[in-house]
Chain A
């Protein structure tokens, strides 16, 4: 008897044997095609828990992934801190229009953080997803890592420059963002999510040096994961060529690491083996070359290549582009199914 997607992914995250490689999208997977198939659309689905759940359920009911997730954008926390958000309408994700703070201003934490902004809608969506698809599919709540929240409330340029010039001035922002992430994670777990995704896309080596990652991003990721305390598994996603810091990412205590195909997964797995690190790695199907622009054959090849490199779960590198054809996403699931069982 095969496992359900939920069982398969949980087994993988908990270090148990699964019947085959799980397939999921660690980051957002909504496309225009999925909106049409589910009848729920952006921008409503960013704000309304029922619409959000209906759209995300498409991950299970249409795409047959082993996990579903909410929300879609990375602005939920920053909005509550007071960053101005620009709505993306039907076709785009909300983005930061104006950061909440200038460097030096105190990052005051709004009280009742998880009752504000779009968090209640996210929590409602998690409850609904659990009810609707949660028996067979893992329901994941996604939040933004403290370093990236700091970037979204201070501005990316200001944060990056200060990381070299005035690193000490950034600490209050990281601390605040970590504290609110703890509260948010708690609420996500209470709503019934069975896994948490931490997206810390600004902690990428495309943006910062390994030293900055180790000093300013990893400690807060680790603290957040410690506060979750193993109640649910945590998948951490960081973009870019992370090879130089993969051991540091593993040391945050995450249950799995989601990476881009820029990472040499085979080499990292070998390094992990030598050091006795067993953290699973998810990836690395290129969202543009394979999923968006590729043929079904290209997608199948990318899935095969990821498996051969040694990933422990098949996932796109990063957020799926909203104009990605649904057929290509389906091919990712089907190609994962055709892979030989793991030993």
Chain B
């Protein structure tokens, strides 16, 4: 298959949320000598396209979740190759991400994690129901300068403030960039709790992280 066809099919595997095809085509792309960065780019295009349809309520969350699984499958093959290539380059910037304590919503946070990974960050996903102390422990352990905390419920949003208060209390607030997001989060809220940034969606969060970290 020509490189162009492989890339086209790879993107289609995301649009079809076909996990098996995504994995297979990622392997094929490497075998054909395609730049893995280009392959990831095509995958991200597919996700973005679905994202637009999602906003228009033409596709729904289950499709996005399965597409995201397909993306991760392909990434598991492509990412190690990108890292090999990048060893001479600069190190990826670590970010810890999680949904706050008391909140078990996973999907939106997963999407942001996926997009951050696509953009070249080293993403450590702490999962859901993450206590403020755990955000700090893991960020310290992993040397992450960025903590991204999601809340998807009006009842758990105060925990984003708890996280920032906790960092303050430990005297380490200025060592971290804290990003907040989630369905119930607003710029106003982010300002009110003195978060460093508010990401309205996955793409906005990537741009925000890049801007705050001064990476292109």
Contacts and interface: CB of A to CB of B under 8 A. Distances in A.
Interface residues of A, number: 34
A215 B156 CA distance: 31
Contacts, number: 81
Contacts of A209: 59-60, 62
Interface in B39-79: 57, 59-63, 65-66, 69
A160 B184 contact: no
A319 B154 contact: yes
A338 interface: no
A97 B129 contact: yes
Interface in A297-337: 318-323
B130 to A, nearest CB: 12
A287 B154 CA distance: 8
B157 interface: yes
B190 to A, nearest CB: 12
Contacts of A293: 186, 188-189, 192
Contacts of A164: 17, 62-63, 66
A288 interface: yes
Given A92-B102, A156-B106, A244 B57 contact: yes
Interface in A31-86: 86
B61 A321 contact: no
Nearest to A243: B57
Contacts of A88: 102
Contacts of A289: 186
A222 interface: no
A160 B62 contact: yes
Contacts of A321: 154-155, 157-158, 184
A93 B155 contact: yes
Nearest to B159: A92
B107 interface: yes
A320 B66 contact: no
B154 A93 contact: no
A95 interface: yes
Interface in B57-115: 57, 59-63, 65-66, 69, 101-107
B208 to A, nearest CB: 20
Nearest to A209: B60
B153 interface: yes
Nearest to B157: A321
A186 interface: no
A305 B61 CA distance: 30
Contacts of B17: 164
Given A160-B62, A320-B154, A323-B158, A86 B106 contact: no
A209 B57 CA distance: 8
Given A93-B155, A288-B154, A289-B186, A86 B57 contact: no
A93 B152 CA distance: 13
A92 B107 contact: no
Contacts of B66: 161, 164-165
A96 B69 CA distance: 23
B184 A205 contact: no
A206 B61 contact: yes
A208 B65 CA distance: 11
A236 B146 CA distance: 41
Contacts of B192: 293
A208 B186 contact: no
Interface in A193-246: 205-209, 212, 241, 244
A292 interface: yes
A61 B93 CA distance: 54
Contacts of B69: 161
A160 B65 contact: yes
A228 B151 CA distance: 35
A163 interface: yes
A157 B60 contact: no
Nearest to B58: A209
7 contacts: A88-B102, A95-B103, A161-B66, A163-B62, A209-B59, A241-B57, A321-B157
Interface of B: 17, 57, 59-63, 65-66, 69, 101-107, 129, 153-159, 183-184, 186, 188-189, 192
Closest A-B pairs by Cβ, 10 of them? A321-B154, A92-B102, A209-B60, A160-B62, A164-B62, A323-B158, A207-B61, A287-B154, A93-B155, A163-B62
Interface of A: 86, 88, 91-93, 95-97, 156-157, 160-161, 163-165, 205-209, 212, 241, 244, 287-289, 292-293, 318-323
